[in-house]
Chains A and B, each alone.
Chain A
Amino acid sequence: MNIYAKLAYTILGFLIVLNWGFLMGATMRKIGARMAGRHGIPFKQPWINLFKSISTRTVITHGIMYYIGPVFRLTGGIGLFLFMPMVFTGSPDGPWTNFSFEGDLILIMYFNVFGMLGMALGAGEGGHPYAAMGITRGLAQHAAVELPLTLAFLSIAIQFDTFSIYKIVEAQQGGIMHWVLFTNPFAAAAIILAMLGALGHSPFNLVKAPNEILIGPATEYEGTYLGFMMSAGATLHVMEAVLFMNLVFGGATSWLELIVKSFLIYFWSVFVGMVFPRFKIEQSVTWFFKVPLLLGVLAVIIFMF
């Protein structure tokens, strides 16, 4: 496949992901509202928000980093998409594998932070205390989540003897019983639990703390910046779900499968969020250090003997 075709597929893929992200976000809001007995937002609300933000005329800036923050964030989201094989087509060079040949799971793990870091830097320059608070909480929780997650990733890499996400997906083809969910249940369990933190819904949403402090770092941003951030947020939500899908739930052989699986994965966190109240940061950190960590350690230990 030549580079132009690749680019074309990639851009198309990104548009799908972005829009699916918006739609999925709206759906979840809707579900949440209905469960609370409210009517909720219309499905088109995210697009409306986006266009409204982008077309705002007055834009402020606190300085260069403030300015660049959303760029980092969006680059992080897009980059994650670029390095992720989306739909399994039987060939590593297939149409929806994007630029995943440049790296592997490790790249995804570390690039995941790129957006967060840029965001943190950008919001920091605004000098708003909520931004800083949100970031400290986010980083702390992130660390706690990553530990079981890393163990589970390692376990999967050991299981298939590779870090290549494509190969991991490939190895899970051929029936539901080949999914990591069943072949490596400890790792899968660790990921399913840790995922709650990674997706950042209640009870692990103190980072954003929507009610008390608006929404964390984003407080400082409005207008075009907010548009960028919303796009990035939508992308990231989908990409995280896709990552877990690829690793645990057998990947996707078509866009439809991808949409369904990512929806279910995302819904899992929303579902839990509906049921449980919010944790304080030290509570969530210790929570991840209990069962998920234990599962992660077990997932690794079984390969040591």
Chain B
Amino acid sequence: MEYIDLGHISLLIGFLLILVGFWGVLTQKNIIKIIVGFSILNTGINILIVSLGYVKGKTAPIIDNAVAQTGYHDVSASVVDPVPQALVLTAIVIGFGVTALMLAYAMKLYKAKKTLEINKFNDLKW
């Protein structure tokens, strides 16, 4: 590694966020904080996804006149990988759905026991 480039930096940030997210998820007792942990975790994963699509020195995969083209709108030499960007879109939406559901659960759980401490919800065990 001669110098740290953008790809490495964002990958590192992604991993760090994931670890932070895990830390939050595993240590926080408050359900809302756990959900926040998951959001951080998801963000980290999303950054990871995008950074893996990075191609050094290339631009966004939207074809307009600013992008160098060869042949008929062939931009293969000048854009970053569009696939992870498509995937991350899906991942974000899924993350949104899950978070929404968790929050709804949090509301239900709070209503049931008037607490958000996760270790209070262990009716089922063993």
A and B touch in the complex (CB under 8 A): no
